[in-house]
């Protein structure tokens, strides 16, 4: 067990306990922000060069409408790093390499788990087992209680570890970091080139008794009032290709109804891909607060003040039953194959035990579909 002073020189496996860090990541207001406020930085990448400021921020913060972004700019709460807010207008152009900063009142943040298992680390690679409930990045509800903020506290403000990919807040499991400006670039390139194998475990509603391939493009959910919600969307209407293999492992029972433990292998990395594809085939993830239920339940919590605990009690699980179980990739420094496994969480094992022997996991990208495999391949209707 390591507390606060976690060091890369320590043993390659272990645990970082963040309990003593709760609400102490930023003991004083962020530089440039008034007392009781926090700063949210957004770096302008090459693809956003020349965008209007309001368009850039609306794209980066999808939960905010462009009108809301314009009102925040007009109120003087947006500035460039090192510059005054008064010089910025909604029509100001952003340039690649700049950092745009929004100042906002510090939120009252819900509690989160503060313990992360260290699966592996060396000079170029850090691999953690993220617990469910811990956000990886700041959002509307979380700023201090995030994985990135906690790493900053553990390693120092200039620790240099960059996240190579993301996990949803309620998804547990393997998450990988590389060195900023070095191995992180190689890791992100490996993800982009599909040189990374990912296997997730999920407990879903209903019975699945045959393996299947789901090849349905994903984009912003059509007709949804939730800005972050994704869904099947034709490529001609902005959807992106998405491919997931689904394999049933065993069955179980949840609240008197059948459930299935499945292994999901995504070949693409779309937002909420596994959750969307499982919901699309009629088997949403247990505990999912956005997919497989009426979205009004989600909006009642986030927009109308309903207690999150009430929704969790209604769903029967405080987290979504999705776990990033295995991740295999070439080491960013020398290319040797690496494989990391995050143990099946106890909260999910209480619902369905993970079989001792799992079926063979190595599947090529485009294997011929065996007779026992059903394929879901279609373009959603616009």
Q: State the catalytic residues.
A: 168
* Angle (nearest 5°) at CA 380 between 377 and 382: 160
Torsion of the alpha carbons at 163, 168, 174 and 180, rounded to the nearest 10: 0
Structure tokens at 56: 């850039």
Q: How far apart are CA 230 and CA 271, in angstroms?
A: 7
CB 137 within 8 A of CB 148: yes
Q: How far apart are CA 303 and CA 251, in angstroms?
A: 36
Greatest distance between any 2 Cα atoms in the chain: 65
Structure tokens at 155: 């390693």
What does each C-alpha distance from 259 to 128, 244, 273, 344, 366 come to in angstroms? 29, 19, 20, 17, 28
Sequence-distant (≥ 6) Cβ neighbours of residue 315 within 8 angstroms: 286, 287, 288, 289, 293
Full DSSP string of 288-351: -SSSSS-HHHHHHHHTT---HHHHHHHHT-SS-SEEEEEEEEE-TTT--EEEEEPPPPHHHHTT
Q: Is the dihedral of CA 208, 254, 323, 277 positive or negative?
A: positive
CB 359 within 8 A of CB 198: no
């Amino acid at each position: 067990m390591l507390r606060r002073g976690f060091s890369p020189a320590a043993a390659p496996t272990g645990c970082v306990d963040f309990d003593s860090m709760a609400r102490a990541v930023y003991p004083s207001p962020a530089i440039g922000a008034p007392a009781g406020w926090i700063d949210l930085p957004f770096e302008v990448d090459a693809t956003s060069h020349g965008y209007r400021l309001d368009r850039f921020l609306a794209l980066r913060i999808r939960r905010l409408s462009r009108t809301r972004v314009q009102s925040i700019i007009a109120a003087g709460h947006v500035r460039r790093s090192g510059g005054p807010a008064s010089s910025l207008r909604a029509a100001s152009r952003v340039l690649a390499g700049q950092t745009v900063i929004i100042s906002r009142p510090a939120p009252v943040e819900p509690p989160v788990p503060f313990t992360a298992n260290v699966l592996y680390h060396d000079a170029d690679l850090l691999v953690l087992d993220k617990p469910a409930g811990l956000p990886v990045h700041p959002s509307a509800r979380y700023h201090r209680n995030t994985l990135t903020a906690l790493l900053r506290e553990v390693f120092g403000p200039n620790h240099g570890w960059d996240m190579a990919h993301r996990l949803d807040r309620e998804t547990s499991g393997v998450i990988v970091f590389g060195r900023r400006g070095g191995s992180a670039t190689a890791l992100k390139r490996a993800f982009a080139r599909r040189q990374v194998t990912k296997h997730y475990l999920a407990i879903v509603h209903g019975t699945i008794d045959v393996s299947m391939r789901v090849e349905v493009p994903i984009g912003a959910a059509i007709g949804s009032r939730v800005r972050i919600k994704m869904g099947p969307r034709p490529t001609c209407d902005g959807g992106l290709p998405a491919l997931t293999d689904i394999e049933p492992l065993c069955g179980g029972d949840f609240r008197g109804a059948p459930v299935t433990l499945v292994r999901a292998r995504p070949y693409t990395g779309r937002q909420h891909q596994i959750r969307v594809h499982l919901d699309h085939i009629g088997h949403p993830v247990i505990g999912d607060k956005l997919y497989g239920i009426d979205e009004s339940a989600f909006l009642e919590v986030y927009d109308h003040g309903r207690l999150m605990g009430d929704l969790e009690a209604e769903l029967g699980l405080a987290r979504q039953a999705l776990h990033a179980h295995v991740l295999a990739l070439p080491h960013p420094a020398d290319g040797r194959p690496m494989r990391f496994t995050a143990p099946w969480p106890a909260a999910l094992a209480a619902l369905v035990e993970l079989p001792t022997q799992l079926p063979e996991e190595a599947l090529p990208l485009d294997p011929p579909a065996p007779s026992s495999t059903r394929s879901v391949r279609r373009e959603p209707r616009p």
